[in-house]
Amino acid sequence: MANIILVGAQWGDEGKGKIIDVLTEGADIVVRTQGGNNAGHTVFLGPKKYVLHLIPSGILRPGKQCVIGNGVVVDPLGLVQEIDGLLKLGIKVSPKNLILSETAHVVFPYHRELDGAREVAKGKNKIGTTKRGIGPTYGDKAARVGLRMIDLIHPARFAEKLKARIAENNAVLKAMGAKPLSFAKVHAAYRAAGDRLKPFVANTVVLLHESSRRKANILFEGAQGTFLDIDHGTYPFVTSSNTTSGGACTGSGVPPNRMDRVVGVMKAYTTRVGEGPLPTENAEVADLLHAMGREFGATTGRARRCGWFDSVATRHATMVNGIDELAITNVDGLDTLDTIKVCVAYRVGAKKYDYVPNDIETLAQCQPVYVEFPGWKTDTTRARKWNDLPAKARSYLKAIAELTGAKLTIASVGPARAQTIFL
Ligand code: GDP
Ligand code: IMO
Ligand code: MG
């Protein structure tokens, strides 16, 4: 293998967890580099379903090392709960296979409260966040008032800093009509989590560089998707981190010239959870997928918005991420359709766009220009090789990869490991 960055090429939930799990077989280390427990990555091992939020999906494969990098925001209580949940399911999690960056920023209850209060204040303009406190935590990081894991595990320093942060945030919360927090309660809960997590905390930059020198293969597990990127997404309807490939470097301390390739994961159609423009949104596609019991959020349980495949968006994703290879998931979701549409351009009045406009108001007005493909109307879930797929499905996949501008290397026809076709 090599050092591979895996990113979501759409609006998140592309099936990154499944593809990471498949690619982990060839990796030594799997690293999360951005986001927090707003992510929900689903992996099936046989009939057993695992949903990872903060811990890299690589944890499910024995012998692999997992790293939560400096660019991640960590809710320590959430992380302890996730570790305990995995232990209960028989997955080994210890400081031997999970290492947590000492410079990762910490999510506090005031971040979650603020996240919720700001959404209420925005009313109909809300973002539809996961309410995990992600935005306010990255806000504090940028404002240089955040606390990091290294602070959490040093009791005296932690108490002093937390006291000041709670005082400031309580004033804000009160002004927004939210309940102030008790320092004593937050302190006790976080100190307990800090003691529990201390053995996992280390200098992950040095660790990754030493591993790299030993020629370890590192897989960088992206969270969210390209159009939720704080710079390149549909701002302000985005998350608060760089979900695109550059985030893997800044969020881990592994520089660009140590990266070998970028794999983009995308669904054979489009989904989005939360507010913001989605040019190809379509009720027929949503009804079809929801009736199959699919496309409900792995973190919040919300029904995902669904639509046709948008190649204007994925082409943009190829450009900003430098996607070399594509993994297309959920091919089987389209198995029953007579005709499948693919968006190849946007139109606003007489103006045609072959790129994603930056102005959110323009994007909201974009009408998709579609081309149609004949459906294959065959169950693909038992296909294991490229030639097992119906010819019409192969044509469709080749066409959307070509429109996206990258090489198709993986097609996924179900959530299980075995339902993966390598090209
Ligand atoms: P992630 O956030 O990108 O890891 O994606 P999620 O786990 O939130 O959502 C993807 C969903 O699609 C999960 O329920 C996966 O189990 C499921 N999934 C992934 N690939 C396939 C596939 O090829 N076919 C089907 N039917 N489900 C898939
Ligand atoms: P994975 O890693 C899909 C969305 C939220 C909301 C916006 C901002 O599973 O693909 P936030 O809580 O981050 O401030 O919310 O981003 N969002 C996701 N959508 N998949 C995710 O993660 C997401 N993480 C955040 O729904 O629209
Ligand atoms: Mg998800």
Helix 155-175 vs helix 109-122: crossing angle, to nearest 10: 20
Q: Which domain holds residue 144?
A: 105-197
Which of 7, 19, 21, 38 has most ligand 2 atoms within 8 Å of CB, for mutation?
Answer: 38
Ligand 3 center to residue 162 CA distance, Å?
31
Which of 119, 122, 130 has most ligand 2 atoms within 8 Å of CB, for mutation?
Answer: 130
Domains held by the chain: number: 3
Same domain, 96 and 209: yes
DSSP-derived secondary structure for 9-44 = SSSS-SSHHHHHHHHHTT-SEEEE-SB-TT--EEEE
Q: Does pTM surpass 0.95? A: yes
DSSP state of 259: -
Same domain, 134 and 242: no
Ligand 2, atom 20, lies closest to the CA of: 12
Ligand 3 center to residue 312 CA distance, Å?
22
Same domain, 34 and 180: no
DSSP state of 142: H
Could you give phi then psi for residue 183, rounded to 5 degrees? -55, -45
Same domain, 92 and 71: yes
CB atoms within 5 A of ion ligand 3 belong to: 13, 40, 298
Ligand 1 center to residue 397 CA distance, Å?
17
Structure tokens at 268: 């054979």
Same domain, 270 and 258: no
Could you give phi then psi for residue 76, rounded to 5 degrees? -60, -35
What is the structure's pLDDT at 299? Answer: 86
Q: Which of 197, 219, 236 is the last residue of a domain?
A: 197
The CATH number linked to 283 is 3.90.170.10
Q: What is the dihedral of CA 400, 331, 262, 58, to 10 degrees?
A: 170
What's the rounded mean pLDDT across residues 21-47? 97
Q: What percent of the chain has pLDDT over 70?
A: 100
Same domain, 270 and 387: yes
Ligand 2 closest atom vs CA 228: 16
Ligand 1 closest atom vs CA 331: 23
Which of 23, 330, 382 has most ligand 1 atoms within 8 Å of CB, for mutation?
Answer: 330
What's the rounded mean pLDDT across residues 113-142? 96
Ligand 1 center to residue 113 CA distance, Å?
30
Three-state DSSP at 45 gives strand
Cα angle vertex 262, ends 417, 219, to 5°? Answer: 55
Q: Which amino acid is at 138?
A: Y
Ligand 2 closest atom vs CA 16: 10
List Cα–Cα distances, 193 to 84, 161, 339, in angstroms: 12, 17, 52
Q: What is the CA radius of gyration of the chain?
A: 21
Ligand 1 contacts CB of residue 41 (under 6 A): yes
The CATH number linked to 127 is 1.10.300.10
- From the CA of 118, the nearest ligand is 2
The CATH number linked to 241 is 3.40.440.10
Ligand 1 contacts CB of residue 140 (under 6 A): no
pLDDT for residue 188 is more than 80: yes
Segment 200-257, tens digit of pLDDT:
999 999 999 999 999 999 999 999 999 999 999 999 999 999 999 999 999 999 999 9
Look at the chain and count its residues: 423
Residue pair 202/97 in contact (Cβ under 8 Å)? The answer is no
pLDDT for residue 96 is more than 70: yes
Q: Which amino acid is at 253?
A: G
Please identify which residue in the block is written with the tokens 């190809």: 280
Ligand 1 center to residue 298 CA distance, Å?
9
Active site residue 209: no
Ligand 2 center to residue 266 CA distance, Å?
15
- From the CA of 15, the nearest ligand is 1
Same domain, 167 and 210: no
* Average pLDDT along the chain: 97
- From the CA of 130, the nearest ligand is 2
Active site residue 41: yes
The residues pairing with 57 across neighbouring beta strands, listed in sequence order, are none
Could you tell me where the DSSP H helices lie in 144-255? Answer: 149-152, 155-175, 183-197, 204-213, 246-250
Question: Peptide bond before 236: cis, by omega within 30 degrees of 0?
Answer: yes
What is the structure's pLDDT at 195? Answer: 97
Q: Which of 197, 222, 246 is the last residue of a domain?
A: 197
What is the structure's pLDDT at 298? Answer: 86
Q: Which of 197, 218, 244 is the last residue of a domain?
A: 197
Same domain, 110 and 152: yes
DSSP state of 132: S
What is the structure's pLDDT at 1? Answer: 63
Segment 116-125, tens digit of pLDDT:
999 999 999 9
Ligand 2 contacts CB of residue 139 (under 6 A): no
Three-state DSSP at 180 gives coil
Ligand 2, atom 11, lies closest to the CA of: 129
List Cα–Cα distances, 330 to 84, 183, 246, 287, 295, in angstroms: 30, 46, 26, 16, 10
Segment 308-349, tens digit of pLDDT:
999 999 999 999 999 999 999 999 999 999 999 999 999 999
Ligand 1 contacts CB of residue 16 (under 6 A): yes
Same domain, 230 and 181: no
Same domain, 313 and 405: yes
Same domain, 192 and 257: no
**How far, in Å, CA of 156 to CA of 66, rounded?**
29
Ligand 1 contacts CB of residue 14 (under 6 A): yes
Catalytic residue among 21, 28, 41, 379: 41
- Dmax (CA) for the chain in angstroms is 66
Ligand 2, atom 26, lies closest to the CA of: 274
Same domain, 328 and 374: yes
